[in-house]
Protein backbone atom coordinates (compact mmCIF):
# COMPACT_ATOMS: atom_id res chain seq x y z
CA UNK A 1 0.00 0.00 0.00
CA UNK A 2 1.41 3.38 -0.97
CA UNK A 3 1.50 5.81 1.90
CA UNK A 4 0.41 9.43 1.42
CA UNK A 5 2.81 10.66 4.12
CA UNK A 6 6.49 9.85 4.31
CA UNK A 7 6.18 9.47 8.11
CA UNK A 8 3.91 6.45 7.57
CA UNK A 9 6.90 4.56 6.19
CA UNK A 10 8.08 4.33 9.81
CA UNK A 11 4.96 2.33 10.63
CA UNK A 12 5.51 0.07 7.65
CA UNK A 13 9.14 -0.42 8.65
CA UNK A 14 7.94 -1.96 11.92
CA UNK A 15 5.51 -4.22 10.07
CA UNK A 16 2.37 -2.30 11.05
CA UNK A 17 -0.44 -2.40 8.54
CA UNK A 18 -1.98 0.98 7.80
CA UNK A 19 -5.75 0.64 7.69
CA UNK A 20 -8.14 3.15 6.14
CA UNK A 21 -10.33 5.10 8.52
CA UNK A 22 -13.92 3.82 8.40
CA UNK A 23 -16.27 6.59 7.32
CA UNK A 24 -18.47 8.08 10.05
CA UNK A 25 -17.14 5.90 12.85
CA UNK A 26 -17.24 7.94 16.05
CA UNK A 27 -15.44 5.16 17.93
CA UNK A 28 -12.45 5.49 15.65
CA UNK A 29 -12.36 9.22 15.07
CA UNK A 30 -8.75 10.27 14.43
CA UNK A 31 -9.33 13.32 16.64
CA UNK A 32 -9.83 10.97 19.58
CA UNK A 33 -6.34 9.49 19.25
CA UNK A 34 -4.42 9.77 22.49
CA UNK A 35 -1.78 11.98 20.89
CA UNK A 36 -3.83 15.16 20.73
CA UNK A 37 -4.41 15.73 24.45
CA UNK A 38 -0.73 15.57 25.40
CA UNK A 39 0.22 17.59 22.33
CA UNK A 40 -2.32 20.28 23.21
CA UNK A 41 -0.99 20.43 26.78
CA UNK A 42 2.58 20.67 25.53
CA UNK A 43 1.85 23.51 23.11
CA UNK A 44 -0.50 25.35 25.49
CA UNK A 45 0.61 28.91 26.06
CA UNK A 46 3.37 28.79 23.47
CA UNK A 47 3.57 31.32 20.66
CA UNK A 48 5.59 30.86 17.49
CA UNK A 49 6.89 33.62 15.28
CA UNK A 50 7.18 31.42 12.22
CA UNK A 51 5.79 28.18 10.92
CA UNK A 52 9.34 26.81 10.98
CA UNK A 53 9.52 27.51 14.73
CA UNK A 54 6.34 25.51 15.26
CA UNK A 55 7.59 22.65 13.09
CA UNK A 56 10.87 22.61 15.00
CA UNK A 57 9.05 22.42 18.33
CA UNK A 58 6.79 19.63 17.07
CA UNK A 59 9.75 17.61 15.79
CA UNK A 60 11.56 18.08 19.08
CA UNK A 61 8.48 16.97 21.04
CA UNK A 62 7.94 13.89 18.87
CA UNK A 63 11.62 12.96 18.96
CA UNK A 64 11.59 12.98 22.76
CA UNK A 65 8.46 10.86 23.25
CA UNK A 66 9.09 7.42 24.67
CA UNK A 67 8.30 4.49 22.37
CA UNK A 68 5.77 3.25 24.94
CA UNK A 69 3.70 6.37 24.34
CA UNK A 70 3.10 5.22 20.77
CA UNK A 71 2.71 1.56 21.71
CA UNK A 72 -0.10 2.37 24.16
CA UNK A 73 -1.85 4.55 21.60
CA UNK A 74 -1.64 2.01 18.79
CA UNK A 75 -2.78 -0.81 21.07
CA UNK A 76 -5.81 1.21 22.14
CA UNK A 77 -6.70 1.61 18.47
CA UNK A 78 -6.54 -2.16 18.08
CA UNK A 79 -9.24 -2.71 20.70
CA UNK A 80 -11.38 0.01 19.16
CA UNK A 81 -11.01 -1.54 15.69
CA UNK A 82 -11.99 -4.92 17.11
CA UNK A 83 -15.11 -3.38 18.69
CA UNK A 84 -15.96 -1.69 15.39
CA UNK A 85 -15.58 -4.99 13.52
CA UNK A 86 -17.63 -6.87 16.14
CA UNK A 87 -20.43 -4.31 15.81
CA UNK A 88 -20.16 -4.50 11.99
CA UNK A 89 -19.46 -0.81 11.72
CA UNK A 90 -22.47 0.24 13.78
CA UNK A 91 -20.71 2.37 16.37
CA UNK A 92 -23.79 2.59 18.60
CA UNK A 93 -24.24 -0.53 20.72
CA UNK A 94 -27.85 -1.68 20.96
Reported as a single tens digit per residue, the pLDDT across 42-56 is: 999 999 999 999 999
Q: Which of 61, 84, 74, 80 is nearest to 10 (CA)?
A: 74
pLDDT in tens, 6-58: 666 777 777 777 766 555 555 555 556 678 889 999 999 999 999 999 999 99
Global pTM reads 0.53
First to last CA, the chain: 35
Any residues with CB less than 8 A from the CB of 22 and at least 6 apart, and which?
Answer: 28, 84, 89
Amino acid sequence: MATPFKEWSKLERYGWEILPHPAHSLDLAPSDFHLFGPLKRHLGGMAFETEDDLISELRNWFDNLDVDFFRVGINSLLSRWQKWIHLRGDYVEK
